[in-house]
Structure 1
Amino acid sequence: MPKLNPTVLLVIMIGIGFQTAFVKSITMNLIVAGVTLIYLLLAGVKWRYLGVMFAISLPLAFATWVSFIAFGTGNTIHLAWVYATRLYAYLFLGGALTLTVAVKDLLFSLHRHAHLSSTFTYGLLAAFNLLPRVRRQVKTIQYAASLRGVTYHLWSPHLYFKAVLSALQWSDDLALAMTSHGFSEGFPRTDTINDPLPKWQWLVAALLIAAYAVGAWVIQPR
């Protein structure tokens, strides 16, 4: 099965996700969750990842269901199932993008097809590439503090204050590195990455969003 372009996937996710926030339909939530789950399986996502997603979200869905049953007003049973199933609709809808597309591919696709600015694209890419270094820096700060008999927990504000100071220094180094590699803000750049987006994929996005709109606002299943 050919994968959809990251830009098209993002448009589908926003188009359907925005409507889902206002639709109180258990059936539509299950349809969204089911269709996106099938797409994830066809895209080659491992069952293990899907199982972890389901296991982590199950207590949240159950807590949502119980809270509406216990404290809701009106048709509490229907609303409880609506919000519990909506959680899985959003979960798998977001997973269709995040589990099948790398951050780099998404950013370059948006840069090419949605005209995302070069500064924003490469700035975000640099930030994501710095995440492993941030984790190492946090561990280094904790280790240095432990040598002085001080313990920095993950919720300690001192830990994040020191990490922010390190990140500010990295931002200057990053700006110098981008300039030395020929990056000039506001000037055109040569695209070296081929990211095809066939017109039929835009048609698929429009049909899916329109089909959801018809089902949610015209047919209006429970």
Structure 2
Amino acid sequence: MNPSFKFLLALIISIELSLKTSLTTNLLVIVFAVVYLLTQKIKFKSLLFTLLTPLIAAFTIFATLYWFAPQPNLENALSLSSRIYVYTLTICCVSIKTTAEELARSLEQNFHLPSMFAYGVLAALNIIPQMKRAVKQIRIAGMMRGVYLSFWSPVLYFKAILVALNSAENLAQGMESHGYVEGAKRSVIVAVPLKASDWLWSGVILILVNLALFTLK
């Protein structure tokens, strides 16, 4: 499916389930999301991590609404806590076979997202590994001088900000040297097609979710 449609579909489903309470629909979405992830050959370790990560948040919501509420309601507590898994798994379904670059290109080509924003997002994502290396180098350089820079040290983040500003300037110069002009029409290197099947699958999934949402409790 088209990356933009996958993202928009996950967003719509999440918003609809957050506005209307339906435990059965939440469970159906969770089951189908897990099945989809399995069909995409997700690693068992990654699936287990995805299921365990939101457990604390879901349990906290359930405990607050069921054990500490003046009038506990089991169905309401399960419905609201299961939303955490709905949000997590739907986003996981979007990201499992879609890279950030593919999503940015799709939003730019199919949803006419401004190229400046798309390229800015890609630049920010691609600079993250460089920033990690820079922070590691800063900490090592400090330890060689007998200065330990902890994770919450202001000095560490100040030096990291300086590195980021320098990298941003180099990136801007690099884009200009490659002919990037804001607002100018650009050619497409990697086309992201929008197929009729994308509309079909999106419509079918939305119809099924809404049918379950308004007919099941």
User: Under TM normalisation by the shorter chain, which class is it?
Assistant: over 0.9
SS of residue in 1 equivalent to 2:193: coil
Question: Is contact 1:11–1:205 with CA below 8 Å preserved after alignment?
Answer: no
CA RMSD of aligned residues (A): 1.6
Confirm whether residue 201 of structure 1 aligns to residue 159 of structure 2. Answer: no
Question: Is contact 1:64–1:84 with CA below 8 Å preserved after alignment?
Answer: yes
Taking the aligned partners of 1:21 and 1:159, their CA distance within structure 2 comes to 39
Residues 170-204 of structure 1: CA distance to partner in whole angstroms, max 9, x if unpaired? 11110000011111111001112132221221122
2:57 to 60, 67, 90: 60
Taking the aligned partners of 1:56 and 1:10, their CA distance within structure 2 comes to 21
For this pair of structures, how many residues does the alignment match?
217
2:124 to 122, 127, 131: 127
TM alignment of 1:91-110, pairs within 5 A: 91-110=88-107
Taking the aligned partners of 1:185 and 1:108, their CA distance within structure 2 comes to 16
Confirm whether residue 188 of structure 1 aligns to residue 204 of structure 2. Answer: no
Question: Is contact 2:65–2:72 with CA below 8 Å preserved after alignment?
Answer: no
1:74 to 55, 71, 75: 71
Q: What's the offset of the Cα at 1:91?
A: 1.1
Q: Cα 1:207–1:180, aligned 2, differ >3 Å: closer, same or farther?
A: same
Question: Is contact 2:23–2:78 with CA below 8 Å preserved after alignment?
Answer: yes
Residues 152-177 of structure 1: CA distance to partner in whole angstroms, max 9, x if unpaired? 22223332222112111111110000
Taking the aligned partners of 1:149 and 1:203, their CA distance within structure 2 comes to 62
Q: What's the offset of the Cα at 1:79?
A: 2.4
Q: What's the offset of the Cα at 1:213?
A: 2.3
SS of residue in 2 equivalent to 1:189: coil
Taking the aligned partners of 1:37 and 1:45, their CA distance within structure 2 comes to 10
Identity, % of aligned positions: 31
Question: Is contact 1:7–1:113 with CA below 8 Å preserved after alignment?
Answer: yes
1:90 to 87, 91, 94: 87
Q: What's the offset of the Cα at 1:214?
A: 2.9
Confirm whether residue 156 of structure 1 aligns to residue 153 of structure 2. Answer: yes
Give 5+ residue unaligned stretches, structure 2.
none
Read off the aligned partner of 1:164 and give its amino acid letter. Answer: I
Question: Is contact 2:66–2:72 with CA below 8 Å preserved after alignment?
Answer: no
Q: What's the offset of the Cα at 1:151?
A: 2.3
Q: Which residue of 1 aligns with 2:167?
A: 170
TM-score (norm 2): 0.92
Greater shift, 75-84 or 130-139, is seen at 75-84
SS of residue in 1 equivalent to 2:51: helix
SS of residue in 2 equivalent to 1:130: helix
Q: Which residue of 2 aligns with 1:46?
A: 43
Taking the aligned partners of 2:85 and 2:70, their CA distance within structure 1 comes to 23
Taking the aligned partners of 2:138 and 2:73, their CA distance within structure 1 comes to 49
TM-score (norm 1): 0.91
Give 5+ residue unaligned stretches, structure 1.
none
